[in-house]
Amino acid sequence: MKYVCALYSCKSFSPKFFCTKQIYFFHVRVEGEVENLKVKLLRYTSDAELLCGAAALTSTQSGSPSEILEKIDSKTAKRIIKRVTGYGHASVIEHASFTFSIEGVSRVMTHQLVRHRIASYTQQSQRYVTYDTVESYMTPSSIAKTAEAKKIFDETLEEISETYKKLLRLGIPKEDARFILPNAAKTNIIVTMNARELRHFFNLRCCTRTQWETREVAVEMLKQVKKVAPALFENAGPSCVKLGYCPEGRMKPPQCNVKEIRKLFRSL
Ligand SMILES: Cc1cc2nc3c(=O)[nH]c(=O)nc-3n(C[C@H](O)[C@H](O)[C@H](O)COP(=O)(O)OP(=O)(O)OC[C@H]3O[C@@H](n4cnc5c(N)ncnc54)[C@H](O)[C@@H]3O)c2cc1C
């Protein structure tokens, strides 16, 4: 993993703090926070850029979509995608879809993820899967690094697990016993989004205003789709990457350095 140092100068952090194998911005890690986080791009539309480029040309050329797709080359497709989406006609990139497996995240994260409606989801069910070991839960690093907080957290989770198991032993079905499970419960989810929705998702969820776990997942998803379809995801990332300014107005965190964030996302 490459070294990426401070993205903005925050005087309260020493250079040592920044010079680690993680990506930081707004003093929050965007990579490395979630232990054992696995985001995998499982499947995606093959020749996604050719397909979206052909879709864009279908509106202006007399040939059939299949003929256009047969003839279009990668360079033309990239140029057309850039031009047409530049007009704001983003529906042409809806033809490309991407499916991810997101493993070992908390239910906090997936609750935020599923708020994005133009997507398909399948999530591990608490009606069928039992939550009875320490590994079943996710510990935020702010808690893990503070001994007293970690002790309280672990003891509470242990108590919850014990109560949960007692309920199961009493014959309470999993679907009811789960009512006492915490937001920290780990889960796996599979999500499919098209390129247009993904770009919108990245605008919101790669932003420093988004909760760290969701942001870490979003940044990982972005890195992976950029590798397979760079033209579809050019300038993707938090809104400021494309806009050149932060649209959050007075909600913009004062330390957030738009210039540095743009640089980071363009180099992902
Ligand atoms: C930093 C941050 C803080 C947040 N805080 C809160 C919070 O405190 N409480 C809370 O409840 N939520 C919160 N959210 C969630 C947020 O309100 C959205 O529900 C979530 O981000 C999904 O975004 P969306 O609705 O734009 O997009 P999606 O559901 O991904 O939809 C994409 C786009 O499709 C269009 N669209 C989809 N459905 C409709 C529809 N029914 N009608 C018209 N247009 C539609 C819209 O243009 C929309 O932007 C927060 C999100 C962020 C990023």
| Confidence category of residue 140, pLDDT binned at 50, 70, 90 | very high
Q: Using a 6 Å cutoff on CB, does residue 204 contact ligand 1?
A: yes
On the question of pLDDT at 12 being above 70, the answer is no
Q: For residue 254, what pLDDT is reported? A: 86
pLDDT averaged over the chain?
87
Q: How far apart are CA 179 and CA 93, in angstroms?
A: 40
Strands 97-106 and 119-123: unpaired
Q: What is the 3-state secondary structure (H, E, C) of 15-72?
A: HHHHCCCCCEECCEECCCCCCCCEEEEEEECCCHHHHHHHHHHHCCCCCCHHHHHHHC
Q: Reply yes or no on whether the pLDDT at 29 is more than 60.
A: no
Give the mean model confidence (pLDDT) for residues 123-148. Answer: 90
Bigger pLDDT: 252 vs 29: 252
Mean pLDDT confidence for 133-145 = 89
Look up the pTM and report it.
0.88
Q: How confident is the model at residue 136 (pLDDT cuts 50, 70, 90)?
A: confident
Active site residues: 205
pLDDT at 30: 39
Atom 5 in ligand 1: residue holding the nearest Cα: 210
Which percentage of the chain shows pLDDT scores above 70? Answer: 87
Ligand 1 centre distance from Cα of residue 114 (Å): 10
Tell whether ligand 1 has an atom less than 6 A from the beta carbon of residue 118: yes
Q: Which candidate, 124, 122, 112, 117, places its Cα nearest to that of 181?
A: 124
Ligand 1 close to Cβ of residue 115 (< 6 A): yes
Ligand 1 atom with least separation from CA of 112: 15
